[in-house]
Amino acid sequence: MNIDHFISEAVSRSVEALYGPLGEEQLQIQKTRKEFDGDYTLVVFPLLRRSRKSPEATAAEIGEHLTAHMPEVKSFNVIKGFLNLALSDGFWADRFAEIAADGAFGQAPATGRNVMIEYSSPNTNKPLHLGHIRNNLLGYSVAQILRAVGHNVIKVNLVNDRGIHICKSMLAWKRYGGGETPASSGMKGDHLVGKYYVEFDKHYKVQVKELTASGMSEEEAKKRAPLMLEAQEMLRRWEARDPEVYGLWEMMNGWVYDGFDVTYKALGVDFDKVYYESQTYLLGKDIVQKGLDMGIFYRREDGSVWIDLTADGLDQKLLLRGDGTSVYMTQDLGTAYRRFEENDLDDMIYVVGN
């Protein structure tokens, strides 16, 4: 059964029974918004010329007629000029029975599509949190469903293992850690590194407060705080492959990965491939340079590189900082290019946010 068609026909019959045959009017029926009770919603404003009643009275009249003559509609509610219809449990049970009886329901064609699904996507400066649990379970479930109906599915994780936020944790551990390790503290590695990310923020806020007390604007103080300047210098040293900084980065990220693995095992999720942004940001930088050469991107006075997407209804987007270090978008470009280069993908699904 086509449910949308069924609802449209049912509502049409009730409207015509109450107000006469429909002419050129188009019934406006849509899925009920999630903040309201119901499954389908009829917009009654276009019908007021026929009913000669208020929006609320018109909606209530149609709702009462539907529930009296259509056992599939168990209840209704009216929100101003919107009639929200709730379908019965029996109606939905019948639909599930139809699906169960259809052995080919949802099956992919003989040659299934190549689908890559990215989920989890953590940063290595803090532990996995509730949002990661949601995305892990959603992504893994979607992958299992698509694989079950015959598609070739590649489950991937993208680890944001580089950048200024990582350097903040590294710098704080170097300054305030006293050599603490997961073994010496008894903490999971991702929790320990997250502890020092918080420690950085605590000391950074003190420095910003001191600078603003001396007369500096808050915006300027956030840029000029010694800890922030030192973290930015650490990022530049990391991109230059400074042995000391790079070794610290490898050690602390190793702690985090051990912690992540414990969580993934507990959740029962896994990945076919893990991408690391530290391995794609240079490719992203090459793409940004190519875009500059082609005149697609532009450089501002501070040396940063941007793209203007206002003609597409978006905004202007930073692609590369003025000091030459990369941002999320830089490595996103490189990662996307690498994925399609390595895999003959028909679909790329990102599980992000709610």
pLDDT above 80 for 25: no
Pairing of strands 305-308, 316-320: antiparallel
Q: How far is CA 302 from CA 124, 267, 319, 322, in A?
A: 29, 45, 13, 5
Burial of 266 from C-beta contacts in 10 A (0-12 / 13-18 / 19+): exposed
Q: Is the dihedral of CA 103, 108, 109, 112 positive or negative?
A: negative
Stated as kind and residue range, the H or E segment containing 14 is helix 3-19
Q: Which fold has domain 3-90?
A: Gyrase A; domain 2 (3.30.1360)
Q: Which helix (H) or strand (E) holds 348?
A: strand 347-350
The two domains 3-90 and 164-350 share their CATH topology (first three levels equal)? no
pLDDT tens across 78-127, in order? 999 999 999 999 999 999 999 989 888 877 777 789 999 999 999 999 99
Please check the confidence at residue 206 and state whether its pLDDT lies above 80.
Answer: yes
Fold of the domain built from segment(s) 164-350:
Rossmann fold (3.40.50)
* pLDDT for residue 22: 84
The ranges assigned to domains in the chain are: 3-90, 164-350
pLDDT for residue 211 is more than 80: yes
Say what the pTM is: 0.69
Q: Which residue, among 85, 77, 74, 43, has the nearest Cα to 60 in the 3D structure?
A: 77
Cα angle 198, 174, 257 (rounded to 5 degrees) comes to 65
- pLDDT per residue over 280-291, tens digit each? 989 999 999 999
